[in-house]
Amino acid sequence: MNREILKEILGKEYRILEACDGNEALEMLEQYGTEISLVLLDIIMPKMDGFEVLAYMNRDKWIEDIPVIMISSEGSESYIRRAYELGASDYISRPFDTKVVYQRVINMIKLYAKQRRLIHLVTDQIYEKEKNNRMMTGILSQIVEFRNGESGLHVLHINILTQLLLEKLMRKSENYNLSWSQQYMIATASALHDIGKIGIDEKILNKPGKLTKEEFEVMKQHTIIGAQMLDSLEMYHDEEMIKYAYEICRWHHERYDGKGYPDGLKGEEIPISAQVVSLADVYDALVSDRVYKKAYSHEKAMEMILNGGCGVFNPLLLECLVEIQDKVRKELGIKSVNECLEYLEEKA
C-alpha cells in the first residue's frame, strides 16, 4: 500500500522500480547501480530489513553514490539515529505529507546530481594531469612488449583486468581502503610490471622451450632490475605513481604462501598493488599465445588458477575474479590494440 502511495506521488516525474523486500532491492542495485537516482527505503520488510540493506549498501560502496531516504512508521530517536549512522540521507516518518515527500525527493536528487557534476569536474582535471604519465608509461611498456615479441595487448589487458579486480575488491572488502585515484594509478603503473625485462637477454626472453634452471634464475632478475630502474629516479621518490610501480615491478611474482620471488614475501606482506597485478598477469598469460605455448580457454585458465596450478593467490582476490569472470571474458576479448586503448580512454 505504501509503495502504491509513493508511486502515485512520484510516478509522473520518475521511473519507479519496486522491490517487495530487501533481497530484491539489493538485486536491483546490483543490476542498475548508479542508474538509480534515489532509494526510498522502509525499515520493516520481510527477509531483510532496511538497516540490513543500508549495511550492504555501505559494504558495496553504493551509499556513496546513491542517496537513501528512509520512510518508516518507526519514528523513535534510536531508529532515526541508526539510519543516519548507516548513511541514510534523510528520514521521513509515516504517515507522510505528499508535498513534503515530493519536495524532499526532488531536493535530494538535485543535490546528488550536483555532487556528481563536481566529481566529474575533478575527475576531468585528474584525467588531464595523468594523461602525460599514461602516454609515457604506455610508450615504455610497448617497447618492452615489442622486445619480448608480443603485440602490446598483454600490457593493455593487464590494465583492464587490474581495474576490474580493484573495483570489485573495493566493493567486497574494507581491508584495502584505496580511493578511485589510487586504483587508477595502480592500473596505470601495472603497465610497467615487466619493464625490467629490458635488461634480460633476448635469447632467454624469446626462447620457445622451457627455460633451464640457470636461465630461469636470470629471468627472475627482471623484478629486481625493474625496481632498481624506478628506484634510481631519485627526484620522483615521493610520487605515489612511482611507489606503486616499484611495488608492482619488484613483487608481482611473489606468492601468497611465501614461495615466490625475489624476496619470498608472504600473505599481506605483499602490497595489494602487486597482488592484483600478479593475478591479472597470470590470467592474461594463460589465455594468450606465447612463444612457448598456445592460449588456454577462459574455463581452463580459471580452473588452473583456482586449483593452485599457477601459484597461490589471496583467496579474496580469487573470489573477486570468479565474480567478475563474465565481464573479464567479454572485455579481454578485445583483440586489437586500438580497441583496447579506446576502451581505457572511456574508462578513464
Nearest CA-CA partner of 152 in 160, 143, 161: 143
- State how far the alpha carbon of 207 is from the alpha carbons of 217, 218, 225, 226, in Å: 14, 13, 20, 21
CATH match of 2-96 with 3.40.1370.10? no
Residue 205, pLDDT score = 87
Query: Does residue 128 carry a pLDDT above 80?
Result: no
In the set 61, 129, 172, 197, the catalytic residue is: 197
Give the chain's mean pLDDT: 86
Query: Does residue 348 carry a pLDDT above 60?
Result: no
In this predicted model, what pLDDT tens digit does every residue of 223-268 receive, in sequence order? Answer: 999 999 999 988 888 889 899 999 999 999 999 999 999 999 999 9
Query: Per-domain residue ranges for the chain?
Result: 2-96, 122-347
Contacts of 273 (CB under 8 A, 6+ apart): 186, 189, 244, 247, 248
Higher pLDDT, 200 or 135: 200
Nearest CA-CA partner of 58 in 90, 32, 26, 80: 26
In this predicted model, what pLDDT tens digit does every residue of 50-63 receive, in sequence order? Answer: 899 999 898 888 88
In this predicted model, what pLDDT tens digit does every residue of 137-150 receive, in sequence order? Answer: 667 766 776 776 66
Check if 2-96 and 122-347 are the same fold: no
Nearest CA-CA partner of 174 in 318, 58, 315, 23: 58
CATH of 122-347 among 1.10.3210.10, 3.40.50.1370, 1.20.1260.10, 1.20.120.1200: 1.10.3210.10
Helix axes 153-172, 180-189, angle to 10 degrees: 150
**Partner residues linked to 309 by β-bridges:** 311
Higher pLDDT, 314 or 155: 314
Query: Annotated catalytic, 197?
Result: yes
The answer to pTM > 0.85 is no
- Mean pLDDT calculated for residue range 189-207: 89
